[in-house]
């Protein structure tokens, strides 16, 4: 067991696979720092590995909301409060990471796609120790935040996909309604864009 560990993620719906990752890392260190990437809109950047990651519907929750959901879930799973902290983790602006996270820690990762591979290179480039907990194919990844948000939007059951405290927090703060609203707004915007493109093409033909 190492003294200090760091993990990170967007946690744009904290789900049970996230908890598997969090708890696996905590078992390997005395103190765990949980980094929240894209802590605010200024840090959101497109990645060639996953362009949808930067859209508004994919980032419905604030840093504060995600921090509270992670904190409540870890406590509910029996992790002592003094054994973890939650910090911003600007993976899209890696030059700032070590202003928030300790350099002399083990950075635990779960890699399931090209974006995960890209992040491993970023962290290795910072000179920190990286330990990959597991590598999985996208098919082996299990539930994702995208699937949870999709279930919310389409009215499918999702309570069983997230920690108990996360479900209660989201419903109490009407965050599920925000997920739906952002999806609808993005759909309307895309519809308008397609209509404008079609009208422009029709005008060019005249």
CATH number for position 160: 3.40.50.620
The whole-angstrom separation of Cα 169 and Cα 150 is 18
Structure tokens of 170? 């989201």
Q: Which residue has the tokens 């904190």?
A: 71
Give the start-end residues of each E strand in the chain: 2-9, 29-36, 84-88, 106-111, 129-135
Find out whether 132 and 107 touch, Cβ atoms under 8 Å: no
Q: Given a cut of 90, is residue 206 above it in pLDDT? A: no
- pLDDT, residue 46, reads 59
* Bigger pLDDT: 57 vs 127: 127
Q: What is the mean pLDDT of residues 26-54?
A: 79
- pLDDT, residue 168, reads 98
Structure tokens of 189? 């915007």
Find out whether 111 and 117 touch, Cβ atoms under 8 Å: yes
* Bigger pLDDT: 137 vs 11: 11
From the list 139, 127, 171, 130, the residue with the least C-alpha distance to 13 is 171
- pLDDT, residue 52, reads 63
- pLDDT, residue 84, reads 98
Q: What is the mean pLDDT of residues 179-195?
A: 86
* CA dihedral (68, 74, 78, 79) positive or negative: negative
Q: Given a cut of 80, is residue 24 above it in pLDDT? A: yes
Q: What is the mean pLDDT of residues 57-80?
A: 97
Q: Given a cut of 70, is residue 88 above it in pLDDT? A: yes
The whole-angstrom separation of Cα 35 and Cα 56 is 20
Q: What is the mean pLDDT of the chain?
A: 91
Q: Which residue has the tokens 């962290």?
A: 123
- pLDDT, residue 15, reads 98
Q: Given a cut of 70, is residue 145 above it in pLDDT? A: yes
Number of domains forming the structure of the chain? 1
Find out whether 71 and 92 touch, Cβ atoms under 8 Å: no
Q: Given a cut of 80, is residue 4 above it in pLDDT? A: yes
């Amino acid at each position: 067991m190492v003294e200090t560990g760091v993990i990170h993620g967007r946690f744009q719906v904290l789900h049970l696979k996230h908890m598997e990752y969090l708890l696996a890392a905590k078992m390997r260190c005395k103190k765990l720092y949980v980094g929240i990437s894209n802590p605010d809109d200024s840090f959101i950047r497109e990645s060639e590995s996953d362009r949808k990651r930067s859209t508004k519907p994919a980032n419905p929750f604030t840093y504060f909301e995600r921090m509270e959901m992670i904190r409540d879930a870890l406590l509910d799973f029996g992790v002592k409060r003094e054994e973890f902290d939650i910090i911003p983790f600007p993976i899209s602006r890696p030059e700032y990471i070590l202003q928030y996270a300790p350099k002399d820690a083990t950075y635990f990762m779960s890699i399931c796609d090209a974006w995960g591979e890209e992040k491993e290179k970023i962290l290795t480039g910072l000179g920190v120790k990286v330990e990959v907990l597991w590598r999985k194919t996208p098919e082996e990844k299990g539930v994702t935040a995208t699937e949870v948000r999709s279930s919310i939007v389409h009215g499918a059951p999702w309570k069983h996909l997230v920690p108990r405290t996360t479900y209660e927090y989201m419903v109490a703060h009407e965050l599920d309604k925000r997920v739906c609203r952002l999806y609808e707004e993005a759909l309307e915007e895309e519809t308008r864009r397609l209509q404008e493109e079609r009208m422009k093409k029709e005008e060019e033909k005249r």
